[in-house]
Chain A
Amino acid sequence: MTPSDTPWRASSKTRAGTFVAILAVAVILIGLVLPGFASRRLIQDLFYILTMLTLAQIWNLLAGYGGLVSVGQQAFVGIGAYALFGAVILGGMDPMLAILLGGVAGLVLAVPMAFFAFRLHGAYFAIGTWVIAEVTRLLVAQWKALGGGTGTSLPRAATSDMIGVAQVAELFDVRTAAARDILAYWIALILAVAVIAGIYGLLRSRMGLALIAVRDNPEAAKSVGVDVRWLKWAVFLIASVATGVTGALIFLQTARISPDAAFAITDWTAYVIFIVVIGGIGTIEGPILGVLVFFLLRNSLADYGSWYLLTLGLIAILAMIFAPKGLWGLISARSGLHLFPIRRRLTGPLPERGEG
């Protein structure tokens, strides 16, 4: 029998998936027109949520699907941000274009980082990435032209005159600073959608099968023909580029940088891990849910200083013990819901269970 007349098909379509696709388009459209009636504060909050969501999706791709538990992601946020500041301050580049340089910088750092870190496994890999991130921070702190250890700011002229600001200011009849926020928010929205769509596409492709296979059992993956080394490199490099771009965008919005802020393990890795763990590792839905929970906690506990961090830590520990698959794992197990279906179901003349 040839494949064309075979009764067997593989399908990952679900009714919920179709509904979510329509919902996603609606959310994106609302997101794009939102600056027309939302306050500047809301736009800034959404910018934060979207950039954290992007970082969480990327980390989830690395750890939840690729089995690469990196705690050095702040290296890519930092190097991406510094690449933008360097290009704008020293090279006179337009900040909008310099965001892309953040991705290039992430890639350039990722190659030597992977070269060393891929020789390590499990917990050692995690520690290795952390150490390399720290070394990168110390090296960047020596960059006197960008303020060394104390950091620097983007020139006001550069951010005010950047591509699109004047048009946005005119369109919404707002001041330059607010227009800059709207522009950054739009890019954050596009970036988050692109990263989620990219990861979803990747997981539904042939490479997605290989990723989960390698995560679950690298030796067995090799034994069915998966090029484990190539796959890990590919995922790590993709993640580094995306993290670099996100880092550049985050610090374009704040317009101020220092090594401690740009390479902060708490802000760019610990919170990100919290989001993924609380939401549900190894799912696309998890980080979306996680970032909302994280944002609510952050807002309601922000005035409690170190109690805030202690509470986050406690919640993360409780989640790991009682809900290792996160909040989305609980919801999904009870409802059988998959908003981003990636499982390929075999359809055709299947026997009943037990018939064998």
Chain B
Amino acid sequence: MMLTLDTVSKSFGALTVTDGVSLSVPKGEALGIIGPNGAGKSTLFNLITGNLMVSAGRIELMGRDVTRMPAMKRVRMGVGRSFQIPQPFEGLTVFENLLTAARFGGAASHDRAVHDCAEILRRTGMLARANQLAGDLSLLDRKRLELARALATGPELLLLDEIAGGLTEGECRTLVDTIREIHAAGTTIIWIEHVLHALTSVVERLAVLDFGRLIGVGAPDEIMASREVREIYLGIEV
């Protein structure tokens, strides 16, 4: 099993943002996470990556208990992530953003890292921007950089947070193709997304979050057909 969440909860004071979530993700799977805004999707990501620590519950990564492990160690174990709002290192170039990820997250040698970063830039369509300052990028390029930088850590588990939001249809298709390629190469993917057609064209299972609780996991068709999901997520009264 790549990832196991066992009744994971997170509270900020009286507010419970993640409420007893249990979920297993086998190696090589692509899992989508959906839910309305404020359902606790990004918080769940932060708990998996270690950017936030759980209030209760247990997290296992590749059979190892990582519940109290800091974020940077989880990265080195193979957890790569993108942020919902792109968080580039603005004072570094696009290439240096990736190089930082490869040298620290991937622990590769310098020459290996340079080669890998250039290849990732090519795959994500960012090669022409390699030597541009990340702070000068457009939104689309910032999103591409998020994906590219996450890949540079050499992830076995890749967490993508609304990476397709705000993109045009054409841009979205290109992105989906890239994600499919990454998945086909054996990387386990967990993807939070509101652009459902993009999501369902890649993932094998969908998980639905509402008010921090996991209210359903299953094949995308089944989930989308579920009355509860349609009511909660799509706001359709059935």
Contacts and interface: CB of A to CB of B under 8 A. Distances in A.
Interface in A226-280: 226-228
A6 B115 contact: yes
B104 A351 contact: no
B71 A223 contact: yes
Given A8-B115, A353-B128, A227 B51 contact: no
A221 interface: yes
Contacts, number: 127
A224 B91 CA distance: 16
A216 B125 contact: no
B9 interface: no
The interface residues of chain B, by DSSP majority, are classed as helix
Nearest to B77: A225
Nearest to B71: A222
A21 interface: no
A336 interface: no
B211 interface: no
B112 A3 contact: yes
Interface stretch (B30-38, B82-90, B185-193, B214-222): B82-90
A9 B114 contact: yes
A352 B49 CA distance: 36
Given A206-B103, A212-B91, A346 B76 contact: no
Contact of A215 (B51, B91, B101, B104): B91
B170 to A, nearest CB: 12
B109 A3 contact: yes
B111 A351 contact: no
A10 interface: yes
B109 A220 contact: no
Contacts of B97: 213
Contacts of B153: 224-225
A315 B134 CA distance: 31
Contacts of A352: 128
Given A3-B115, A6-B111, A210-B104, A222 B91 contact: no
Nearest to A64: B91
B111 A222 contact: no
Nearest to A220: B87
A334 interface: no
Chain B's interface size range is 35 or more
Interface string B117-129: 1100100011111
Interface residues of A, number: 38
B134 to A, nearest CB: 8
Interface in B38-93: 49-51, 70-72, 75-76, 81, 83, 87-93
Given A6-B111, A215-B91, A217-B89, A225 B72 contact: yes
B114 A6 contact: yes
Contacts of B101: 224-225
Contact of B96 (A3, A8, A209): A209
A350 interface: yes
Contacts of B110: 10, 206
Contacts of A354: 128
Contact of A345 (B81, B107, B131): B131
A225 B104 contact: yes
B130 A223 contact: no
Interface string A313-356: 00000000000000000000000000000011110101111111
B177 to A, nearest CB: 13
A214 to B, nearest CB: 9
Given A1-B115, A223-B83, A224-B152, 8 more contacts: A209-B96, A209-B104, A212-B91, A217-B89, A223-B49, A225-B76, A225-B105, A353-B128
